[in-house]
Every structure is written in C-alpha cells, then in structure tokens.
C-alpha cells in the first residue's frame, strides 16, 4: 500500500491523503480537486502515476459523445440500415470516398456490421480527434479508425479507414 501526501503542494485547502487499494481515504482526491476552481486546480502528483503536462489531453464528455454518435451512424450506414447521404455532410471529400469504397466492399462481402463499440478517442489537439471503434459483423469483427477536426463548431471527418 502506498500513501500519497500532497502536503508539499504550495496551495491552501484540504489536505489530501490517498490510499491505493480498497481502503477509504481521509479526504478523497476528487473532493479535493472539486474544492478548487478549474483554473486553480492543483497539479496531479507524480506519485499517482500521472505527471502534469504529459500525455494526451483529457477527452471531454461532449467529444466522446460526438465520437460515439459518429460511430453509431457509420455502423448504421455500413450495415445498410440507412443511406450514405446521412454522413455526406459530416465528411470531407477524401473521407467520403474512403467511406463509400469500404461500404461497397462490405456489400460485396455480405458481412455487414450489426453493432459497434467505441474503443478509443484521442485528442491530438483541441480541434483534432482520432477515433477507434470495433464493429461486430456476422462472421468477423473489424476495426474502424477515423480522424475528425472541429470546423465551425461541428466535428468534420477528414479520414476514414476500416480494417
């Protein structure tokens, strides 16, 4: 068991002592973070395995939901439950061509996806996201990868690939 103390932080506020494992904490880390406004939030201690300023930015809930919705609609179009024009307004010309090629190949193969599970959403910048999902077909599963950019307040698919 590791005890992490944040008493060394140069901040006023509640002292946080977190215990790894199934034990309760004196003050939970979430409660301590909630005590500070977002701009004054303390850095995450290195002892928790996350050093401040490193790694990809945290994915916001709204970004995750937008990615999930894109995957659901893509699965419906690839599964021939709705037409491709549904996604036409959300894709660049290159991405739409890639998408229609994949759709044609799946139609000739006969193994259309029935459901999808969003596996990963990574924010490369505040306006660029990469999405990975698993599409379940009757005979085999496939991986969907897409890149999206935020343009005019809307997520726009710039690349689409199905493996």
Q: Can you give the CATH number for the domain in which 121 is found?
A: 3.10.450.50
Strand spans (E) along the chain: 3-5, 17-19, 115-125, 128-136, 141-151, 154-162
Calculate mean pLDDT across residues 48-69. Answer: 66
pLDDT of residue 153: 86
Are both 104 and 76 inside the same structural domain?
yes
Sheet with 154-162, strands from edge to edge, namely 115-125, 128-136, 141-151, 154-162
Are both 66 and 124 inside the same structural domain?
yes
pLDDT at 54 over 70: no
Question: For residue 14, is it within any domain?
Answer: yes
Would you say 118 and 133 are in contact if contact means Cβ atoms under 8 Å apart? yes
Are both 14 and 82 inside the same structural domain?
no
Structurally, the chain folds into a number of domains equal to 2
How many Å apart are CA 68 and CA 47, to the nearest integer? 33
Are both 91 and 15 inside the same structural domain?
no
Are both 132 and 78 inside the same structural domain?
yes
Calculate mean pLDDT across residues 154-162. Answer: 90
From 7-16, 53-62, 139-148, the region with the lowest mean pLDDT: 7-16
| Domain around 115 | 61-162
DSSP state of 14: -
Question: For residue 80, is it within any domain?
Answer: yes
Are both 35 and 114 inside the same structural domain?
no
Are both 103 and 33 inside the same structural domain?
no
Are both 71 and 117 inside the same structural domain?
yes
pLDDT of residue 146: 93
pLDDT of residue 131: 93
């Amino acid at each position: 068991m590791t005890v992490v103390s944040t008493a060394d932080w140069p901040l006023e506020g509640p002292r946080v002592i977190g215990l790894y494992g199934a034990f309760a904490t004196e003050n939970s880390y979430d409660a301590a973070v909630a005590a500070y406004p977002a701009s004054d939030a303390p850095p995450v201690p290195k002892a928790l395995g996350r050093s401040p300023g490193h790694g990809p930015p945290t994915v916001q809930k709204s970004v995750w939901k937008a990615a999930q919705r894109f995957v659901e609609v893509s699965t419906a179009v690839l599964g021939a439950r709705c037409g491709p024009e549904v996604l036409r307004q959300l894709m660049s010309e290159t991405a739409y061509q890639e998408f229609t090629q994949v759709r044609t190949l799946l139609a000739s193969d006969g193994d259309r996806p029935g459901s999808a599970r969003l596996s990963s959403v990574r924010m490369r910048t505040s306006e660029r996201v990469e999405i990975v999902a698993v599409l379940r077909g009757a005979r085999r599963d496939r991986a969907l990868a897409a890149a999206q950019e935020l343009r005019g307040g809307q997520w726009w698919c710039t690349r689409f690939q199905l493996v």
